[in-house]
Homo-oligomer: A and B are copies of this chain.
Amino acid sequence: MIITLLTDFGTSDYFVAAMKGVILGINPNVQIIDISHHIPPHDIKAAAFNLLVVYKDFPEGTIHVAIVDPGVGSSRRPLLVVTSKYFFIGPDNGLFSYICEREVSCHIYHLKNQEYFRPPLSSTFHGRDIFAPVAGALSKSINPDNLGELINDYVKLGQLALTQLDDKTLKGFVLHVDHFGNCITNITREDLTEMDIHRGVKLVVNQYEIKSFRKFYTEESTEKLFALWGSAGFLEISALCNSAANLLSIKPGQELIVEKL
């Protein structure tokens, strides 16, 4: 059984280890895998993106725990999301929004059963006191119905899908800027086929036009800025040996237009 952790806790303090200790105290046979603990503090969208693009690489039954939780201690709800193959645990603030939008089936539970929390419940560290012990319990096949109650609503981030403006034009946005400065858009291969690219496509972002498409980063070309299919399945805007985000002054959320020629 595998539990993954994705947080903005950093790795200087004891926070992540406390969660691991609590989990292993409940189930010593679990494997704990770090996705990242270096999400920018409070950046829910960055965490949501990273989780979206990696969760399916783990085996069926994996429990993904994601904690970027500026509202810890307030009334925001702790959640368990159950899809056909995975479990997700974390606060109700949009972290699982992209995943729920894409999954056919999502059962969402409000974690209420304090029996599975670590006492005494602090108001500053629900990672250790709620999310870790619930993940530990779940890894021992506790039924989700015992952990909380089914709910129908959850906090949503903006939608992931492109907007069709007309036959030839789509509106999208920059989902994420990675630490190389690559700008990962929300454009997928379903939005833009190989045939479309073969016929010609223009991306317009921040008044720049990008018409060059590459297969890999170091492909020979004279174009400084180009698009390529990133490993996460989204179209990325990149610059060779440079930060496309800096060159184009792009931040996450930046709107862009796709014109099929």
Interface residues of A (CB under 8 A from B): 2, 4, 10-18, 20-22, 24-25, 28, 31-39, 41, 50-51, 53-54, 57-59, 62, 70-74, 122-125, 128-129, 178-180, 215-219, 228-232
Contacts and interface: CB of A to CB of B under 8 A. Distances in A.
A57 B25 contact: yes
B12 A36 contact: yes
A215 B13 contact: no
B123 A17 contact: no
A4 B12 CA distance: 15
Instruction: Classify the interface of chain A: helix, strand, loop or mixed.
Output: loop
Contacts of A38: 10-12
A28 B31 CA distance: 9
A176 to B, nearest CB: 9
Contact of A58 (B11, B21, B39): B21
Contact of A33 (B20, B74, B124): B20
Given A18-B54, A71-B218, A216-B74, A124 B228 contact: yes
A246 to B, nearest CB: 16
A11 B37 contact: yes
A69 to B, nearest CB: 10
B231 A124 contact: yes
A54 B24 contact: no
A39 B10 CA distance: 12
A25 to B, nearest CB: 4
A59 B37 CA distance: 23
A216 B72 contact: yes
Contacts of A62: 21
A229 B18 CA distance: 17
A34 B24 CA distance: 13
Contacts of A24: 2, 31, 33, 58-59
Contacts of A180: 41
A218 B70 contact: yes
A246 B34 CA distance: 31
Nearest to A126: B231
6 contacts: A11-B38, A13-B50, A21-B59, A32-B33, A72-B216, A123-B216
Given A14-B54, A18-B54, A21-B54, 20 more contacts: A4-B21, A11-B36, A11-B37, A12-B36, A12-B39, A14-B51, A14-B53, A16-B34, A17-B36, A18-B231, A21-B58, A28-B31, A70-B218, A71-B218, A74-B216, A74-B219, A122-B229, A124-B231, A125-B231, A128-B231
